[in-house]
């Protein structure tokens, strides 16, 4: 993904005008809402069966950390000390797997320049022509932060400008010789990703482009060299289908087929970056259209995963090749306009909520790594000043409920039709609500997302296989403006909401555009 550091301010007044426009047209575009102009709530049922369970993926709440800019700012200004406040916030988000050293930066990264005493370290190139940067967050610092978080590390090796020997030496250093930080032995690295996004051609770095055939050939030499050092490592290759739900997604058609057939070494997983939605590459539509497309986009990711799974099964003979979503976030525009920052808005965070709920139900998902942990333009869940962005609260909420096992949870609600926006094609009858639930030591925890922009949801939760409801607590997360970012209007607030329960049914009204945390004991 992109490495962009910039300064930005609050939305200009145009946003206020567009938000008003959104309010004025929303009832027109929500054609499948079951509400009439006189109704004040949509009816919803959530059916939970506590006897039907599935495992919690321990790597669902992964993240990314780049090497540049003091590790996106996770190191203090001395360039050495990890920011304890950021570490504490990352723990609250439950970061369970951490990817390094890029994104795109991995294609230019030479790890040996980031080893040894700080004063003796070298520099590496930034990806977007911003010059060189001294490596302060090297391998030792990265693994030290991973250890502090209790996170499993995953490293992306430099296939484009690096060598198989360089990658093998990296495995040798982390897993055989072992890396130390202040005389403390750091964790081994089990998961290794061969390259970042070789299926794309960046306009600013066209010299880094590689054909699918050449990628497969080089990947073989890398995997062979790395596994010769440590046969126990798990190695994955990046994939991209020709189309994502009918939308062309790579300038290298046939990439997946060529790579999956061409790599002869054993692969343990494949990695994808197929969840950056809605990504608008042309004229920016009305914000109401962007909102609807974003609230429907998580379903597109499921279809993308199905396509990848089909191709892996068709072209590979190994069993149990899982899919790693090593980068994901909301993405809107990259044109320098105000809509760029929607990544850091509540609208972007609601997309993440919807996506994580769907990902939690995918049995072949290896890991999901949010892009990214801190700073890094609008992408970080934590801002450069340590502020909690909306994505932080979503990840924290998921971390709070991920105890015990997930339960079978079926949500029934009215739906809406979403428009064709950017990379997100139009969809029909998308549910306004999504939910997941877990059970641990007789404590039932539920997350319910109400995506309706204006209507509350009257929800009835029916619970099977669970007895003895004594207390119900419900907290609702939202903001004053779903489009604002890094302003007072975008500050996430929590409010306790009233509930009613009788026998095994709970009733409550969930405000519009909210993520709701319900705890039942």
Whether 277 and 424 have beta carbons less than 8 Å apart is answered as yes
Is pLDDT above 50 for 14? Answer: no
305 assigned to some structural domain: yes
Phi, psi of 296 (to 5 degrees): -105, -10
400 assigned to some structural domain: no
Is pLDDT above 90 for 362? Answer: yes
* Whether residue 304 is found in the same domain as residue 381: yes
Q: What is the CATH number of the domain that holds 508?
A: 2.60.40.1180
**Local structure of residue 281 (DSSP, 8 states):** -
H or E stretch at 97: strand 97-100
Percent of the chain exceeding pLDDT 90 equals: 90
* Whether residue 254 is found in the same domain as residue 161: yes
Is 399 strand, coil or helix? helix
* Whether residue 379 is found in the same domain as residue 451: no
* Whether residue 317 is found in the same domain as residue 179: yes
165 assigned to some structural domain: yes
* Whether residue 249 is found in the same domain as residue 371: yes
Q: CA dist 128 to 67, 108, 111, 202, 451, Å? A: 14, 11, 19, 10, 36
CB proximity list for 231: less than 8 A, separation 6 or greater: none
194 assigned to some structural domain: yes
Phi, psi of 398 (to 5 degrees): -65, -40
394 assigned to some structural domain: no
Predicted confidence at residue 399, as pLDDT, reads 99
Q: Within a 13 Å sphere around the CA of 463, how many CA atoms are in the beta-carbon half?
A: 28
Q: Which stretch of 29-33, 177-181, 226-230, 435-439 has the lowest confidence by average pLDDT?
A: 29-33
* Whether residue 323 is found in the same domain as residue 432: no
Is pLDDT above 90 for 29? Answer: no
- pLDDT tens digits, one per residue of 282-314: 999 999 999 999 999 999 999 999 999 999 999
395 assigned to some structural domain: no
* Whether residue 81 is found in the same domain as residue 167: yes
* Whether residue 455 is found in the same domain as residue 320: no
Predicted confidence at residue 31, as pLDDT, reads 36
| Segments forming the whole domain that contains residue 278 | 62-284+299-335+350-386
Is 183 strand, coil or helix? coil
* Whether residue 262 is found in the same domain as residue 212: yes
Is pLDDT above 50 for 10? Answer: no
Measured at the CA of 256, the angle between CA 232 and CA 302, to 5 degrees, comes to 85
pLDDT: which is higher, 123 or 131: 123
- Joined together, the tokens standing for residue 17 give 């005008």
Q: Which stretch of 28-42, 376-390, 451-465 has the lowest confidence by average pLDDT?
A: 28-42
Q: CA dist 367 to 349, 358, 375, 395, 419, Å? A: 19, 13, 22, 14, 30
Predicted confidence at residue 39, as pLDDT, reads 57
* Whether residue 222 is found in the same domain as residue 183: yes
The domain tally of the chain equals: 2
293 assigned to some structural domain: no
H or E stretch at 313: helix 298-315
38 assigned to some structural domain: yes
* Whether residue 37 is found in the same domain as residue 181: no
Is pLDDT above 50 for 494? Answer: yes
Is pLDDT above 70 for 32? Answer: no
* Whether residue 324 is found in the same domain as residue 422: no
At residue 281 the predicted structure's pLDDT band, cuts being 50, 70 and 90, is very high
Closest to 452 in 3D by CA, of 20, 40, 8:
40
Residue 463 φ/ψ region, left for φ over 0, alpha for ψ in the -120 to 50 degree band, beta for the rest:
beta
Q: What is the CATH number of the domain that holds 325?
A: 3.20.20.80
Q: Can you tell me the distance from the alpha carbon of 473 to that of 478, in angstroms, rounded to the nearest whole number?
A: 17
Q: Can you tell me the distance from the alpha carbon of 273 to that of 208, in angstroms, rounded to the nearest whole number?
A: 19
């Amino acid at each position: 993904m992109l490495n962009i550091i910039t300064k930005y301010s609050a939305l200009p007044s145009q946003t206020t005008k567009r938000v008003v426009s959104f309010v004025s047209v929303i009832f027109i575009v929500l054609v499948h809402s079951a509400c009439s102009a006189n109704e004040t709530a949509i009816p919803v049922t959530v059916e939970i069966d506590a006897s039907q369970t599935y495992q919690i993926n321990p790597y669902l709440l992964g993240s990314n950390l780049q090497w540049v800019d003091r590790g996106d700012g996770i190191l203090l200004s001395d360039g050495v000390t990890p920011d304890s406040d950021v570490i504490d916030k990352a723990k609250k988000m439950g970061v369970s797997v951490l990817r390094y050293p890029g994104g795109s930066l991995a294609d230019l990264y030479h790890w040996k320049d980031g080893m040894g005493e700080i004063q003796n370290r070298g520099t590496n190139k930034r990806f977007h022509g911003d010059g060189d940067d001294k490596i302060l967050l090297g391998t030792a610092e990265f693994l030290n932060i991973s250890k502090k978080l209790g996170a499993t590390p995953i490293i992306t090796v430099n296939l484009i400008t690096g060598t198989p020997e360089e990658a093998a030496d990296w495995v040798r250093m982390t897993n055989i010789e072992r890396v130390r930080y202040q005389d403390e032995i750091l964790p081994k690295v089990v998961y290794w990703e061969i390259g970042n996004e070789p299926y794309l051609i960046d306009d600013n770095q066209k010299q880094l482009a590689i054909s699918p055939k050449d990628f497969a050939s080089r990947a073989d030499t890398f995997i062979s060299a790395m596994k010769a050092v440590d046969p126990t490592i798990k190695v994955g290759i990046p994939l991209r289908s020709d189309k994502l739900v009918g939308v062309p997604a790579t300038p290298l058609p046939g990439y997946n087929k060529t790579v999956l057939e061409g790599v002869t070494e054993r692969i343990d997983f494949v990695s994808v970056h197929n969840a950056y939605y809605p990504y608008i590459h042309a004229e920016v539509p009305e914000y109401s259209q962007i909102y609807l497309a974003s609230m429907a986009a998580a379903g597109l990711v499921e279809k993308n995963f199905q396509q990848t799974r089909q191709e892996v099964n068709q072209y590979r003979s190994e069993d149990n090749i899982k899919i790693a979503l090593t980068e994901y976030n909301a993405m809107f525009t990259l044109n320098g306009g105000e809509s760029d920052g929607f990544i850091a808005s509540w609208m972007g965070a609601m997309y993440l909520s919807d996506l994580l709920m769907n990902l939690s139900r995918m049995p072949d998902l290896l890991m999901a790594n949010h892009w990214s942990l801190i700073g890094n333009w609008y992408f970080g869940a934590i801002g450069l000043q340590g502020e909690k962005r909306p994505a932080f609260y979503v990840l924290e909420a998921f971390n709070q409920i991920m105890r015990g096992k997930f339960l079978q949870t079926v949500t029934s609600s009215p739906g809406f039709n979403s428009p064709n926006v950017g990379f997100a094609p139009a969809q029909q009858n998308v549910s306004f609500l999504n939910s997941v639930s877990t059970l641990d030591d007789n404590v039932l925890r539920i997350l319910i997302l109400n995506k309706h922009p204006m209507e509350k949801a009257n929800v009835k939760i029916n619970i099977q296989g669970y007895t003895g409801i004594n207390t119900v607590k419900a907290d609702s997360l939202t903001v004053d403006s779903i489009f604002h970012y890094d302003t007072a209007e975008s500050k996430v607030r929590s409010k306790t909401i009233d509930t009613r329960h009788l026998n095994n049914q709970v009733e409550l009204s969930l405000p519009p555009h909210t993520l709701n945390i319900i705890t039942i004991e």
